[in-house]
Structure 1
Amino acid sequence: MSGTARKVRVVGDPVLHAVTRPVTEFDAELSDLIDDMFASMYVAEGVGLAATQIGVDRAVFVYDCIDSDHHRHVGHVVNPVVVATAGPIDDGEEGCLSVPGPFEELDRPSSVTVRGVDKTGAPLEVTGTGFFARCLIHETEHLSGILYIDHLPRNRRRKVLRAMEPFAWNA
């Protein structure tokens, strides 16, 4: 694996609530950032990571996630936009590397389609089901400054924040 793992930012860091800048340069710097994001995600044992989570104000996320048919999807999306959601609501648990430790139930669509480009600027569209759908919408929201806990009622949000714990990759 290439790339250098970077510290994952945790809730309370203002970068996590900032709207990212669109990527306009498709160069070696972007490719290196994506490699670093994968390295950071794997060290933290995550399934997705947005650039803001390592303190970078760029609209890009990476993923390595299983869908509802247990197929593994690995990739990245630059300048993502959710273009479609469908299916019954999935009320599964969700967690976040930037809210380390706890998981909480959160309603999400069971199918999500994200459109963007790859690191070369080529158009791409990714559709995910099940947990992969949850990952796609979760990471896209990060780039708009939204954390999954922002969707929770105040009492459940407080419970999650109290249960957070430090890990080696973010301490």
Structure 2
Amino acid sequence: MTVMDIRKVGDPVLRQVAEPVTVFDAELHRLVDDLGETLAQSRGAGLAAPQIGVGLRVFAINPDLPGNDLGLDHLINPGLEFPDDEEQYGPEGCLSIPGIYLDTRRRLNVVARGLTKHGDPVQIVGAGLLARCVQHETDHLDGVLFIDRQDADGQERLLATLREAAWAGTRLQVSPH
């Protein structure tokens, strides 16, 4: 296992739609392990493969998140369903946008179906923080950042702040999502 560098906002890989995983081999197992190790080192809630420069539909989640009764630490090729229309509005951050936390609207409840690194089907039924994390990481696989979920004024204020950050890239943009 290796702790990988986390790509920051402005890196083009964060805006690309990740490709589905079709091969479940040792290389995929290493990717999942590297994601988990990098996530543990960063003490985050989740980390998607594009955040370490890999354009595959894989993300790691903290197995200790409240509601993660199965203790799942990753999901491959996730598909999301929402059992109701309930929403939550609260603070959200991103390892690719360090130090920035914004109140973000997400669905309160989620059912995520996908695969393990062995190709076995798995399902996560989550609410609250677990639901927020699964939605946030799935957004990463679609090239969407949580700043894209802010209103126009909030996006402009955030972009101005990010442009001044020492770590920020030069290609800062907001997605139309």
TM-score normalised by the chain length of structure 2: 0.85
CA–CA separation in structure 1 for the residues paired with 2:68 and 2:124: 16
In 1: Cα distance, 2:156 partner to 2:71 partner: 33
Structure 1 counterpart of 2:113: 115
How many angstroms apart in 1 are the aligned matches of 2:60 and 2:158? 24
Residue in 2 that maps onto 1:66: 65
Per the alignment, residue 47 of structure 1 pairs with: 45
* Aligned counterpart for 1:151 among listed residues 143, 149, 152: 149
CA contact (8 A) 2:105 2:149 kept: no
Equivalent in the alignment of 1:77:
75
- The partner residue of 2:13 within 12, 15, 18 is 15
In structure 1, distance between residues paired with 2:89 and 2:74: 25
Report SS of the residue matched to 1:91.
strand
Partner of residue 32 from structure 1, selected from 25, 30, 33: 30
* Residue 86 to residue 41, structure 1, CA distance change in 2 (3 Å): same
Match of 2:2 in 1: 4
> Alpha-carbon deviation of 1:87?
5.5
The alignment yields a C-alpha RMSD, in angstroms, of 2.0
Alignment check: 8 A CA contact 1:63 1:73 kept: no
Structure 1: gaps of 5 or more residues: 167-171
Tell me if structure 1 keeps the 8 A contact 2:2–2:38: yes
CA positional deviation for 1:53: 0.3
| Uncovered stretches (5+) of structure 2, i.e. residues with no partner | 168-177
Indicate the SS of the match to 1:107.
Answer: strand
**Alpha-carbon distance between aligned partners in 2 of 1:83 and 1:157, rounded to the nearest angstrom:** 27
SS at match of 1:145: coil
Classify 1:27/1:135 alpha carbon distance in 2 versus 1 (closer, same or farther; 3 Å): same
Total equivalences in the alignment: 163
Letter in 1 for 2:65: I
Deviation (angstroms), 1:52? 0.2
1:165, 1:133 → 2: CA distance?
Answer: 32
* 3-state DSSP of counterpart to 2:84: strand
SS of the residue 1:21 aligns to: coil
- Determine if the alignment matches structure 1 residue 127 to structure 2 residue 125: yes
C-alpha distance 159-13 of structure 1, shift in aligned 2 (>3 A): same
Name the CA distance, whole Å, in 1 between partners of 2:133 and 2:69.
14
Question: Whose strand fraction is larger, Structure 1's or Structure 2's?
Answer: 1
What amino acid is aligned across from residue 104 of structure 1 in structure 2?
A: L
In structure 2, which of residues 69, 86, 89 is the aligned counterpart of residue 88 of structure 1?
86
* CA distance in structure 1 between the aligned counterparts of 2:83 and 2:5, rounded to whole angstroms: 32
Q: State the identity as a percent.
A: 39
| Pair 1:95–1:85, CA change in 2 (3 A) | farther
Whole-Å separation in 2 of the counterparts to 1:124 and 1:71: 13
Q: In structure 1, which of residues 135, 138, 155 is the aligned counterpart of residue 136 of structure 2?
A: 138
